[in-house]
Amino acid sequence: MKHLVKQIAEKSRNDFPLFNGNNNNLIYLDHAATSQKPKEVIDSLEKYYSSQNANVHRGAHQLSAIATEKFEHSRKLTANFINSNNEKEIIFTRNATEAINLVAYTWGNYQLQENDEILISLMEHHSNIVPWQLIAKAKKCKLIFIKVNKNGELDLDDFRKKLNDKTKLVSVVHVSNTLGCSNPIEDITDLAHQKGSLVFLDACQSLAHKPVDVKKLGIDFLAGSSHKLCGPTGVGFLWAKEEILEKMPPFLGGGEMIHEVFEDQSTWADLPHKFEAGTPAIGEAIGMGTAINYLQSIGLQAIHNYEKELTKYLFEKLAEINHLKILGPNPLLQPDRGPLATFYIKGIHSNDIAELLDNSNICIRSGHHCCQPLHRFYGIKSTARASLSFISTPSEIDSLTEELKSIISFLKKNS
């Protein structure tokens, strides 16, 4: 463990300006909400806006050519990152939420019929629930939820029971942002395809933590978000199979996404531009490409191996704390789970825990984590969550658990 820390965490932390200077004693354990940014990502943004700033695809001058080359290079990097067939399958969006909405309002509008069914799980983030609720209501479809089992994992038996010939889409998270469980996507895809259903994968909590290969997983759609990949906010991406994207109508109308515009009709640009109306987040997309390069320079498998050991250590330390209950599978039972622990202490509000930890410069998340249906299933209103990254260290976990013990003792005495 110490060797891994020296090779990954301690070395990588020097790349992140947040942990230098006045913040060198900050303990950031909220990586599942948003990742911190290495200097080279910040520098790439500064370079674009200071010396390469121009619109893409539309200008004949040198700045536009440079901006276009950098922007499209990021698309290629993203395609390679997930082992896409080609960069035409990568659609830049504002975030993963927009990617899900894009599919709901385009594929959903032309494909779904009355009484068709969409399967999602009870552990989904609201961004993978609400768009399907809206399109299901508009198309008079049924939205059906897959249960969570007693171990805090997807109930595959319940999935098999609910999957049928009416199922047109299965949309599930790869790694839950609350339970931390890693869902068996290859099994889900095999079963879904046997029934003629497509599979949408929310990969926001997996892409920065382990290799994700869309061909190996066999999925049809994937949503990713830059800001969880050590990249800038305001940009994400949709991946989908080229043959599916070709059949889908545009999401938004305007400049860039057209081939020709007449007074009474318009025709659409080729992929991927058909789905990218208006001026995109150019600098942010370039920054996402830089972030992907950065992660790959460390190695996703190396990151995954380190974070697995760190997650085991987190669970071991939290297990020492009386009255603390953790949601989701223990890493000893599911080693491939995500690097986070969501927990609660009966009689103590998670916001109080987070605020008191913050007084000691320890940043965690509290609330329902955009997973209200899941929290209702457990009969609790909110939880606290500590989430790790390759820049997290065992000493940070030690500090977290010691402070938690002190906080719980204090709050119990004064309750």
> Which of the residues are catalytic?
370
**In angstroms, rounded to a whole number, what is the distance separating the alpha carbons of residues 396 and 363?**
11
Select from 22, 64, 26 the least CA-distant residue to 282: 64
**In angstroms, rounded to a whole number, what is the distance separating the alpha carbons of residues 263 and 259?**
14
Q: 198, 170 in Cβ contact below 8 A?
A: yes
Residue 342 main-chain phi, psi, to 5 deg: -105, 130
Select from 289, 392, 285 the least CA-distant residue to 338: 392
**In angstroms, rounded to a whole number, what is the distance separating the alpha carbons of residues 167 and 154?**
18
CA 44 to chain centre: 22
Starting at the edge strand found earlier in the chain, the sheet holding 90-93 runs: 90-93, 236-240, 221-225, 198-202, 167-173, 117-121, 142-146
Angle between helix axes 350-358 and 394-413 (nearest 10 degrees) is: 120
